[in-house]
């Protein structure tokens, strides 16, 4: 009987030794193979992809990831005679290490955090030694670090539960299971088999931890698992040691109880931790169309998978254009560009206006001047001097496309517009448009500009016609008068 009790205990607490390659991290020897590292990354990716879901949905997803994972007993390394090692073996699970890993995932966001949190989950005060290992299920609600609460301690379950006083680690005939480990006296709440009804099971949540109690001295439970609520009932998800399974499976809780008749009741614990939120560091850059920053960037830390909220700032001299980048936080580090176009400003003075991308605090100085341009001496023209000045009345050097509108003499057509480099050196400019009162042209700098008018042509034009044979022009007025006089004279002769 003593051997049977010890064997049962070993299945629960996973004491054992396996000679596998280890490596040291600080003063702790760690077993951590590449398969387990890959599985950790994959589980964290599941959590990231489902970051916005509820804790119950997340625990269902990551615990389901381990379905079909082989059951391996005695996977832990350490004893009174063998130095304890931190075993991280996600491809070989027993009923309790399965819960260890799930609880650790709940508290972590990356591999480094996982390693440190596993120490706190599995060991009292995070001290990786054999005697500090949490050998008993109820250690989770009693020893540092406290991992869970006893669901059955709630007043709602008062009439359903039974409480046993248990001396943990003290077996039959006062023999201890673990030498050197103090006997721990605890009150253990459990729901007896006869009270495990459908109504009771509905009160449990997906992710609740469940321990199966048998009437064995010195032990609180002999098996553990996870509650999963499904449409057709309450399921036990667990690393099953049954010969027909030997892997992580889903099994209706009532079916499990029907098969294991020696189970006298169940303990229910609920994790006191929430899943850690994954976040994305999002840099919001405010840039112009050339990609140059025009305002300070903003760094936001937003939930992974959520929509990114971007503040569109009012930036002097710029108009908001668009946001460049997917607005979902789907990367650990992400950059969103808020793109602006320069604001088109129109400055006016003396009927002249200039459109360009410059500060609206600038002033336009535009005057018509009496300037003689020798190369235009045979033309009619006007000359305008145009400059842009700042608030200190200093001329601003412009080097950008500008559109200039200048008034002209009404109903006169501008033939050419010139940038007056000097008296004899002119640069022809493109005329964009003109009407009866103004002419519009483009430049990329400011100085003196000359408007050259087309010559006026007289409307008093004498009509001419070529002679039939020589093509010489003749005047028909005189012959016509002579013919009329002759006809008048002949009329008088005939009357006589």
* Per-position pLDDT tens, the chain of length 496: 333 333 334 334 433 333 333 434 457 999 999 999 999 999 999 999 999 999 999 999 999 999 999 999 999 999 999 999 999 999 999 999 999 999 999 999 999 999 999 999 999 999 999 999 999 999 999 999 999 999 999 999 999 999 999 999 999 888 999 999 999 999 999 999 999 999 999 999 999 999 999 999 999 999 999 999 999 999 999 999 999 999 999 999 999 999 999 999 999 999 999 999 999 999 999 999 999 999 999 999 999 999 999 999 999 889 999 999 899 999 999 999 999 998 888 999 999 999 988 877 899 999 999 999 989 988 999 999 999 999 999 998 888 889 999 999 998 999 999 999 887 789 999 999 999 999 999 998 898 999 999 998 766 554 444 444 444 444 555 555 566 666 665 555 445 4
> Is the CB of residue 96 less than 8 Å from the CB of residue 137?
yes
Residue 488 is assigned to a structural domain of this protein: no
Q: Do 106 and 236 belong together in one domain?
A: yes
For residue 347, say if its preceding peptide bond is cis, omega within 30 degrees of 0. no
Last residue of a domain, one of 271, 289, 312: 271
How high is the pLDDT of residue 162?
98
CATH of the domain at 307: 3.10.20.320
- For residue 267, give its domain range: 2-271
Buried/exposed code over 168-205 (b: 16+ C-beta within 10 A; e: otherwise):
bbbbeeeeebbeebeebebebbbbeeeebeeeebeebe
291 and 142 in a common domain: no
Q: Is 258 domain-assigned?
A: yes
The vertex-469 CA angle with 464 and 474, nearest 5°, equals 25
Is residue 369 assigned to a domain? yes
- Are both 244 and 98 inside the same structural domain? yes
> Same domain, yes or no, for 285 and 227?
no
Q: What is the pLDDT of residue 13?
A: 40
How far, in Å, CA of 245 to CA of 223, rounded?
15
Residues facing 16 on adjacent strands: 78
User: Would you state the pLDDT for residue 484?
Assistant: 63
Domain assignment present for residue 370? The answer is: yes
Q: What are the DSSP calls for 175-208, one per residue? A: -BSSTTPPPEEEEEEEEEGGG--HHHHHTS-TT-
Q: Is residue 458 part of a domain?
A: no
Residues 201 and 246 in one domain: yes
Of 126, 152, 128, 127, the residue nearest 138 (C-alpha): 152
In angstroms, the CA 17 to CA 29 distance is: 14
126 secondary structure, DSSP code: G
Domains held by the chain: number: 3
Q: Are residues 89 and 238 in the same domain?
A: yes
Predicted pLDDT of residue 399: 82
Would you call 380 exposed, middle or buried from its count of C-beta atoms within 10 A (0-12, 13-18, 19+)? middle
Residue 440: inside a domain: yes
Tell me, yes or no, whether 465 lies in a domain.
Answer: no
CA distances from 65 to 201, 205, 247, 294 (A): 24, 19, 12, 47
Q: Specify whether 185 is located in the same domain as 297.
A: no
Find the CATH number of the domain harbouring 393: 2.60.40.1180
Q: DSSP string of 396-441?
A: PPP-S-EEEEEE--TT--EEEEEEEEETTEEEEE-EEEE-SSEEEE
Cβ density class 417-431: b for 16+ within 10 Å, e for less: bbbbeeeeebeebee
Of 300, 316, 341, at which residue does a domain stop? Answer: 341
Check which CATH number belongs to the domain holding 102 and give it: 1.10.3670.10
Tell me whether residue 10 is exposed, middle or buried, using C-beta atoms within 10 angstroms of its C-beta: 0 to 12, 13 to 18, 19 or more: middle
Task: Say whether both 189 and 261 belong to one domain.
Answer: yes
pLDDT confidence of residue 161: 98
Say yes or no: 184 and 316 in one domain. no
Instruction: Please tell me the predicted confidence (pLDDT) of residue 492.
Output: 55
pLDDT of residue 72: 97
459 within domain boundaries: no
């Amino acid at each position: 009987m003593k051997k049977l009790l010890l064997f049962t205990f070993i299945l629960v607490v996973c004491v054992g030794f396996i000679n596998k390659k280890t490596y040291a991290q600080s003063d702790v020897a760690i077993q951590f193979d590449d398969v387990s590292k890959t599985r950790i990354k994959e589980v964290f990716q599941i959590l990231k992809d489902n970051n916005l879901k509820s804790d119950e949905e997340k625990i269902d997803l990551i615990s389901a990831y381990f379905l079909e994972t082989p059951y391996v007993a005695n996977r832990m390394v350490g004893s009174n005679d063998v130095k304890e090692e931190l075993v991280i073996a996600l491809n070989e699970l027993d009923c309790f290490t399965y819960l260890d890993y799930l609880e650790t995932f709940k508290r972590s966001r990356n591999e480094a955090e996982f390693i440190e949190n596993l120490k706190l989950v599995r060991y009292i005060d995070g001290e990786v030694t054999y005697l500090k290992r949490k050998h008993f299920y109820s250690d989770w609600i009693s020893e540092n670090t406290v991992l869970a609460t006893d669901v059955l301690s709630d007043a709602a379950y008062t009439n359903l539960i039974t409480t046993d006083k248990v001396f943990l680690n003290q077996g039959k005939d006062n023999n201890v299971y673990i030498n050197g480990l103090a006997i721990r006296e605890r009150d253990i709440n459990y729901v007896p088999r006869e009270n495990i009804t459908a109504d009771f099971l509905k009160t449990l949540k997906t992710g609740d931890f469940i321990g199966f109690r048998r009437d064995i001295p010195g032990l609180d439970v002999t098996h553990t698992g996870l509650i999963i609520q499904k449409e057709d009932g309450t399921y036990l998800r667990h690393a099953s040691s049954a010969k027909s399974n030997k892997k992580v499976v889903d099994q209706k809780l009532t079916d499990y109880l029907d098969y294991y008749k020696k189970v006298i009741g169940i303990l229910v614990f609920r994790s006191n931790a929430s899943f850690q939120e994954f976040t994305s560091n999002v840099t919001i850059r405010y840039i112009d169309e050339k990609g140059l920053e025009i305002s300070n960037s903003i760094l936001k830390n937003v939930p992974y998978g959520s929509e990114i909220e971007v503040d569109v700032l009012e930036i002097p001299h710029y108009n908001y254009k668009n946001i460049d980048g997917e607005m979902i936080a789907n990367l650990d580090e992400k950059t969103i560009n808020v793109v602006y176009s320069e604001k088109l400003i129109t400055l006016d003075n003396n009927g002249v206006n200039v459109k360009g991308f410059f500060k609206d605090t600038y002033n336009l100085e535009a005057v018509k001047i009496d300037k003689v341009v020798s190369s235009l001496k045979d033309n009619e023209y006007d000359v305008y001097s145009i400059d842009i000045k700042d608030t200190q009345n200093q001329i601003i050097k412009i080097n950008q496309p500008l559109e200039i509108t200048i008034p002209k003499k009404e109903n006169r057509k501008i033939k050419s517009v010139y940038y007056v480099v000097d008296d004899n050196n002119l640069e022809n400019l493109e005329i964009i448009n003109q009407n009866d009162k103004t002419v519009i042209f483009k430049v990329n700098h400011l100085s003196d500009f000359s408007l050259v008018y087309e010559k006026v042509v007289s409307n008093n034009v004498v009509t001419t016609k070529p002679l039939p044979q020589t093509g010489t022009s003749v005047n028909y007025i005189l012959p016509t008068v002579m013919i009329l006089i002759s006809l008048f004279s002949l009329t008088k002769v005939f009357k006589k």
